[in-house]
Amino acid sequence: MDTLDLRHTPLIDPFARQISYLRLSVTDRCDFRCVYCMSENMTFLPKRDLLSLDELDRLSTAFIDMGIRKLRITGGEPLVRRDIMQFFRAMSRHLDSGALDEICVTTNGSQLEKHAGELAATGVKRLNVSLDTLDPQKFAEITRWGRLDQVLRGIDAAQNAGMRVKINAVALKSGNEDELLSLVEWCHQRDLDLTFIEVMPMGDIGNEDRLDQYWPLTDLKARLAQHYTLEDLPLNTGGPARYARLVETGQRIGFIQPMTHNFCESCNRVRITCTGTIHTCLGQEGSMDLRDALRSDVPMALERAIRTAIGQKPKGHDFDYARGEVAGKISRHMSHTGG
């Protein structure tokens, strides 16, 4: 394969899936300590281990040259990284050129009041905001360090800046079960999209128990169906969610079910950590370090490394709670992988 082909030939994995979606973590740090995501006393990576903003740019650009059309910026909490808006301003050139369809952000919302206007100015049109409860006390308990009012102001700022906001709510048994209908109604009133997510077995979360937290979305959907008519939608937004419409309100609700409904057959995405490690499957330990190739003077070293990694992408994950135990557990935290 010659140099031109290597740079511009689409990325195809061993199962004939074209990779068009990159989820890029820009930091493992977060100003929350959500009980399903990390332990309260986290040890974060030394800042010197993180890719520089310029390296994040060059890495993203290499993927875009090879056919990535959607770029999602994640963390940790991406907006706590110092000078991160420089990176968003740099990436906007790929939107302007048409090489990239969209740049999205997944955030806890804590810094949105400060950054929403500038994010919109750089071309970000859609945000995912993690919000599991509308009860201030429960919010403080789930996030350990977070303040609900700060996040709600951030959501206001994002909507006022013209961005479309989707709420991501992790389904938590004995955590937000009693808020199912109130979350749905609140999102309807605020014109916010809503997606529910099952707890995934990733990383050590201290004294918390995954099985105690796990609320299968099959049960959640059944409860919704007691109050609404659910109409399945054949919608595919490029991510793992399946969608249904609530006939009575017209709302579109997403369901991400890695435990009860494997979504791997159409996987078109890879994740890169803030240190330059590529994970081609969220639910497998396999990975490859791209940092040396990124910093190499050898022509096409990065492009070759990326294609080698894609060539090792597995068919799917092994997450499983079905036998009353946590199977397929992944040692790394979601905050390091890139939510």
| Stronger pLDDT, 223 or 286, i.e. the higher one | 223
Please report the pLDDT score of residue 321 as a whole number: 41
Please report the pLDDT score of residue 173 as a whole number: 86
pLDDT tens for residues 15-47?
999 999 999 999 999 999 998 888 888 889 999
In the beta sheet, which residues pair with residue 167? 129, 194
Is 37 annotated to bind a ligand? Reply is: yes
What is the SS3 assignment for 133? Answer: coil
Please report the pLDDT score of residue 7 as a whole number: 77
Q: How do 126-130 and 230-233 pair as beta strands?
A: unpaired
Q: Is the pLDDT of residue 327 over 50?
A: no
Closest CA to 83 of 109, 113, 118, 108: 118
Is 166 annotated to bind a ligand? Reply is: yes
Is 187 annotated to bind a ligand? Reply is: no
Q: 330 pLDDT band (50/70/90 cuts)?
A: very low
Q: Is the pLDDT of residue 107 over 90?
A: yes
Is 75 annotated to bind a ligand? Reply is: no
Please report the pLDDT score of residue 338 as a whole number: 59
Show the 3-state SS of 317-337: CCCECCCCCCECCECCCHHHH
Is 162 annotated to bind a ligand? Reply is: no
Is 267 annotated to bind a ligand? Reply is: yes
Is 67 annotated to bind a ligand? Reply is: no
Is 66 annotated to bind a ligand? Reply is: no
Residue % of the chain over a pLDDT of 90: 71
- Domains, the chain, in order of start with CATH, read 3-337 (3.20.20.70)
Is 106 annotated to bind a ligand? Reply is: yes
pLDDT tens for residues 273-324?
999 999 988 666 678 999 999 999 999 999 999 999 999 998 765 544 444 4
Is 81 annotated to bind a ligand? Reply is: no
Please report the pLDDT score of residue 319 as a whole number: 44
Residue % of the chain over a pLDDT of 70: 82
Q: 109 pLDDT band (50/70/90 cuts)?
A: very high
Please report the pLDDT score of residue 38 as a whole number: 84
Is 74 annotated to bind a ligand? Reply is: no
329 contacts 201 by C-beta, under 8 angstroms: yes
Q: pTM surpassing 0.85? A: yes
Q: Is the pLDDT of residue 174 over 80?
A: no
